[in-house]
Homo-oligomer: A and B are copies of this chain.
Amino acid sequence: MFTYLQVGTFASSKPNFTMNTAQNTKDRIIELGRDYMQRIGYHSFNYKQIALELNIKNASIHHYFPSKEDLGLAVIEKDRQDFIYLTQKVKKAKAMDKLEALIASYEYYYKEGKKLCVISTFSTSYNEITERMQLAASQYAELVTAWLAATLKEGLESGEFSFKEPVEELANVWMAMMPGALLVGRTGGKAAFDKTISSLRQTVKSS
C-alpha cells in the first residue's frame, strides 16, 4: 500500500531554446530516450537504462510506447517540435543570430557527452530502422534544410552575408558539416570540433 511517485527531479541545465515539457513520465521517457539515442545510437539504447533512471519497470515503458519504433518516432517528433520552437524564438533575430542559435545547440550536444544531433543519430542507423522512421527522419532533415536555405537567403539579401554559392547548396553544406563536426569531435576532441564550427561560420562571410 504505497503510492507510485513521480520520481526524479530531472534537473537538466538545458539552454533555454529547448522546450522543457518533461513533467510526466511519458515526456521523461522521450527526453531520456532522446538523450541515450544521441549518445549511443538508436539500437544500442535500451529500455532498461530508462527504467532504472526513472525508477519504473521495463514493462511500464511499453505502457506508453508499445514498441521501440513508437518511442523512436516520438523522439524524432519531439526534436522536430523543439526545432520549430527554436526557429519561432529567433524569428525576428538577424540571420547570423539565427544560425548561431542552431550552432549553440550543437555546441551543447558536444559538451553534454559528445552527443550527435537527432537527425544524424537516425541517419547513422538509417539502413536498420523501419520505413516510417526513415521517412520521419528524412522529412525532419528536409525541414531543417529549408529553414537553413531561407535563413541564408535572408542574410544574403540583407547584405549580412556575402557568399557566392546558391543558398540551397550552402544549406546542404551546413547540413553536412554540423553533424560532421560532432563526428570529427568524437575522434579529434574539442579542438577539432571547434575548428570545424569556426570554418562553418566562415562559409557565409567569404566573398
Contacts and interface: CB of A to CB of B under 8 A. Distances in A.
A101 to B, nearest CB: 20
Interface in A92-145: 113-114, 116, 119-120, 122-128, 134, 137-138, 141-142, 145
Interface stretch (A64-72, A81-89, A188-196): A188-196
A9 interface: no
A184 to B, nearest CB: 5
A181 interface: yes
A125 B186 CA distance: 10
Q: How many copies does the complex hold?
A: 2
Nearest to A163: B206
Interface string A157-173: 00000001100111011
Contact of A172 (B145, B164, B169, B199): B199
A107 B177 CA distance: 17
Interface stretch (A10-18, A21-29, A36-44, A51-59): A36-44
B176 A184 contact: yes
A142 B43 CA distance: 28
A179 interface: yes
Interface of A: 39-41, 43-44, 113-114, 116, 119-120, 122-128, 134, 137-138, 141-142, 145, 164-165, 168-170, 172-173, 175-181, 183-184, 186-188, 192, 195-196, 198-199, 202, 206
26 contacts: A41-B41, A41-B43, A43-B43, A120-B183, A122-B187, A123-B183, A123-B186, A124-B124, A134-B187, A138-B188, A141-B187, A145-B188, A165-B199, A168-B195, A169-B199, A172-B192, A172-B195, A172-B196, A172-B199, A175-B180, A175-B188, A175-B192, A176-B176, A177-B177, A179-B183, A180-B180
